[in-house]
Amino acid sequence: TISVLAPLPLVFLDPEKTWTGLVACAIWTVLIHQVFSNIVEPRLLATTLNLHPITVLVSLAFWTLCWGAAGAVLSTPLTCILQLTMSRIDHPV
């Protein structure tokens, strides 16, 4: 949110910009931010980390309940560590 709203005062203070320019700047930054946050980043995380998006959401909920905001920030790395640890353990057949 801060990265989207931070440039708007600079655009507003530009004497050559019109209200349509200000609105266009706000709409484009929000649109680009939403597309990358909701489409591009989850797909990249899913392919590079080998985690299903539902797994990421469940781990986010679990670690947030356990540790609050710190758990929310660390949820994906902790889940990746757990997945790697579990894949390295020899399971009896």
Q: What is the pLDDT of residues 49-68, one digit of tens each?
A: 888 878 888 888 999 999 99
- C-alpha–C-alpha distance, residues 49 and 14, integer Å: 43
Write down the pLDDT at residue 64.
Answer: 92
* pTM for the model: 0.57
**Quick one: which of 90, 67, 63 has its CA closest to 77?**
63
Residue at token pair 């590079």: 48
Per-residue tokens: 16: 């050559």
